[in-house]
Amino acid sequence: MANFETILTPALLPQYDLKGKTVVVIDILRATSSICVGFNSGVTLFRPVAHPEQALVLEEDGFIAAAERNGQKLEGFSMGNSPFDYLNTDLNGKQVAITTTNGTRCLHLSYEAAEILIGSFLNLQAVADYCKKQNRDVIAFCAGWKDKFNLEDTLFAGALAQLLQNDLVIECDSTLAAMDLFDKAKTDLSGYIKKASHAQRFERLGIEKDIDFCMQQSIYNIVPRIVGEDLKL
Ligand code: 3SL
């Protein structure tokens, strides 16, 4: 049987071998959640880029340029990284070049994997179903915050592992810890996550409503994945 492992922060990435595996990149607050909203609103592709300047160059080729650093939309960009930037907006057929503090960085760090998927609570069940069908080793890769551990990405890793525990072998302690954490928090995910450092950062920025939105489970039946240098459905 294939295995399930969890990388709790990008700083731990050198301890893992991604080759031949499916990596699920997780940045619940908010990059991977917002990317799911964007696809659901009609975006045809996201191009994750490392630097804001690269997004601006792509804007000249017709892309929408989206950039976030430290939780805030950068000046001069038409989009940031809030799910509400991508909700109820006519994005049909649009292409978005996006750079964020941690999430897009992890997509680039995962380049050795056989497949790179976008995981968020918004598409949790779809990602689990996709992984089940593939029967390949899965790594849940938590983006964390600037190489540090965070609660919200770990909770998602635990939720995904719970859905896959009958199909994949789970012998990895970080996954077992994530599953226990999810068990503790699952009856009131939003309430639990409010104590997280990133939630407090959002409170200071006045964007707490993004948290409740990102904690909704399995409202989108989509699995964005890397194809070449882009994210597509
Ligand atoms: O780090 C990231 O990629 C972002 O998701 C952070 S924030 O939610 O926009 O603050």
Summarize pLDDT for 173-217 with one digit per residue, the tens.
999 999 999 999 999 999 999 999 999 999 899 999 999 999 999
What atom of ligand 1 comes closest to residue 82's alpha carbon?
9
Backbone angles phi, psi at 18, to 5 degrees: -90, -10
Would you say residue 158 has pLDDT above 90?
yes
CB within 8 Å of 164: residues ≥ 6 apart: 4, 128, 131, 132, 138, 170
How far does residue 3's CA lie from ligand 1's centre (Å)?
28
72-96 pLDDT tens trace: 999 999 899 999 999 988 899 999 9
Q: Which residues pair with 47 in a beta bridge?
A: 97
Reported pTM: 0.97
Q: Kindly list the structural domains of the chain, giving each domain's residue range(s) and its CATH number in brackets, ordered by start.
A: 4-232 (3.90.1560.10)
How far does residue 229's CA lie from ligand 1's centre (Å)?
20
What atom of ligand 1 comes closest to residue 71's alpha carbon?
10
> Distance between CA 175 and CA 154 in Å, rounded?
8
How far does residue 106's CA lie from ligand 1's centre (Å)?
12
37-49 pLDDT tens trace: 999 999 999 999 9
Q: Which of 118, 131, 116 is nearest to 161 (CA)?
A: 131
Angle at 49 between CA 108 and CA 128, to 5 degrees: 50
Tokens of 160: 């995904």
Backbone angles phi, psi at 125, to 5 degrees: -65, -40
What atom of ligand 1 comes closest to residue 27's alpha carbon?
5
How far does residue 138's CA lie from ligand 1's centre (Å)?
23
